[in-house]
Chain A
Amino acid sequence: QKEVEQNSGPLSVPEGAIASLNCTYSDRGSQSFFWYRQYSGKSPELIMSIYSNGDKEDGRFTAQLNKASQYVSLLIRDSQPSDSATYLCAVPELGGSYIPTFGRGTSLIVHP
């Protein structure tokens, strides 16, 4: 079964801390991975994309990919209350078919 799994949370962290969001996927052959942020009542917006094993950094965000273990994570450093949102992990290709599969999302709450 083609799946993308995320812990629904909520994940609560204090302002200034590192928030760690995790995602596992079912197909070892998947090649590209995306993290989207969705504020309540709004549409998803892209945070990061990652295609190769290892880390990819963009400002306060770092995406980490481990294809052998089939997980991708998103680290948010110096978390701000404005980071409070639901974070969606997306895998465009699972099991050889291009049917983008999204995790259910992890709700992040950053408290002052």
Chain B
Amino acid sequence: KAGVTQTPRYLIKTRGQQVTLSCSPISGHRSVSWYQQTPGQGLQFLFEYFSETQRNKGNFPGRFSGRQFSNSRSEMNVSTLELGDSALYLCASSLAGISTDTQYFGPGTRLTVL
């Protein structure tokens, strides 16, 4: 079974731009979660989507948004990029969700904001 895939793997943007990241979960998984990982803050939860609905949300500003499609693929959008948004963005998929289910992480998208 194919793992979680994320595209693109690397991105370079400038301040003020917006970016869209994509995540394809493991086949059959309905939950997709997004995380930001930085050396300073560690791994932080952004949000979880389940069956096209946002089910849980972390403490990030509204510039960070996402959506999930009927095939469970998910996109994350960051508008008005700031230097501090430079990070590794990870998505993870699971069968039933983040509360008790095993999450499988994708390889991540490395975003650099100049």
Contacts and interface: CB of A to CB of B under 8 A. Distances in A.
Interface stretch (B12-20, B72-80, B95-103): B95-103
Nearest to A8: B42
B58 interface: yes
Interface residues of B, number: 23
Interface residues of A, number: 22
B11 to A, nearest CB: 16
B49 interface: no
B22 interface: no
B44 to A, nearest CB: 8
Main secondary structure of the interface of A (DSSP, over half): loop
A104 interface: yes
A35 to B, nearest CB: 11
Contact of B99 (A88, A93, A102, A105): A93
A43 B106 contact: yes
A38 to B, nearest CB: 9
6 tightest Cβ-Cβ pairs between the two chains A and B? A43-B105, A102-B43, A104-B42, A98-B56, A100-B45, A32-B100
Interface of B: 33, 42-45, 48, 55-59, 90, 97-100, 102-108
Interface of A: 31-32, 34, 42-46, 49, 51, 88, 92-93, 97-105
